[in-house]
Amino acid sequence: MNNFSNVSYVSSTLILQGFDLSPENILPVFFFATLGYIIILFCNLLLLITIILNKSLHEPMYLLLLNLPINDLLGSTALFPQIIKDLLLETRTIQFSTCVTQAFFIHIYATGAVFILTAMAYDRYVAICQPMRYNMIMTNTHLMKIISLVWLSNILMIAGLFILLLRLPRCRSLITNTYCDNPSLLQLVCVNTAINNIYGLMTVAVCQVITVGLILFTYLQILIACFRNKRSDTRSKALQTCATHLMVFLIFECLGLFTIISYRLTDISPHLRKFIAVAAMILPPTLNPIIYGLRTKEIRTKALTFFQQRVNPS
């Protein structure tokens, strides 16, 4: 660490610790990273294009869902190109400005995913628990207010996090992670970071209370409404949909919270922390278009029609 300290003070180049890969493992990891990024791009772009091009899908549920692939593409593009470049060129250096930009968009992605899933849960709550008033409640104006609230609150909150970070002087240059994020950037600072830590923990706590609270409330109400519904097919479909949505939310929550907590645990394996941190960035963007797209009959039908028209125009 001391070897890097003097360099970082006069240079804007940082060193990513990354995974300790042997030369024979670099090529397979590069292949799987590239393949994973291609799959994420393909699935999320397909979901995005399918919803945009089909007017029959321009309903509140699908317009809220539209934000999920946008967010997933944002997070994946902030992560994968850097990892692929490092593997291809066998380098671990990154410019400070690039590192901050990557960290900013990764935090936008992480917070945005939780907010969007919460907004989608609210939509399902209204649709299942108040079906007769759904069109009256989920108007275009109300929908735009929800989407604007999700993105504006996310951007403002993360912007505050990085404004507090950038005011602090650096004296180190080793990023102890496979990618840049706020906690790893804070480790480069050699002054008191109490304000940053308080703000970071406060935003996490507020977000968790609001999002988890709303998720628990909406799904509890949905569960009660499903058991009151006498139609078994409707009850089964609603429960299946909500179960998959809840599963995605829980997976993301567990991975995200573990990543946050791991920075504050000194005895945890650094390799495990890096693995979980990368998994939190890879699994949701891969699973989301499958669970929310291909498993939704309307989207699956439109996506297949879109493919058939492109493969066989006649």
pLDDT digits (tens, 9 = 90+) for 81-117: 988 888 888 778 889 999 999 999 999 999 999 999 9
| Distance in angstroms (rounded) separating the CA atoms of residues 11 and 63 | 45
For 42-96, write each residue's pLDDT tens digit.
Answer: 989 988 988 888 888 888 888 999 999 999 999 999 999 988 888 888 778 889 9
Model pLDDT, residue 233: 63
Contact in structure between 281 and 259 (CB atoms under 8 Å): no
Q: Which residues pair with 175 in a beta bridge?
A: 16
Q: What is the pLDDT of residue 241?
A: 67
- Kindly state the tokens that stand for 66: 């539209």
- Quote the Cα angle for 101-287-176, to 5°: 40
Q: What is the pTM of this model?
A: 0.87
| Under 8 Å between Cβ of 105 and 81 | no
CA dist list (Å): 279 to 94, 122, 222, 252: 21, 27, 30, 9
Q: Which CATH class is domain 23-311?
A: mainly alpha
Predicted pLDDT at 7: 40
Residues of the chain with pLDDT under 50: 1-10
- The pLDDT, as a whole number, for residue 99 is 93
Give pLDDT, residue 70: 95
Count of CA atoms in the C-beta half-sphere (13 A) of 301: 6
In the block, tokens 């990892």 appear at: 83
Name the residue type at position 205: A
Cα distance between residue 70 and residue 73, in whole Å: 5
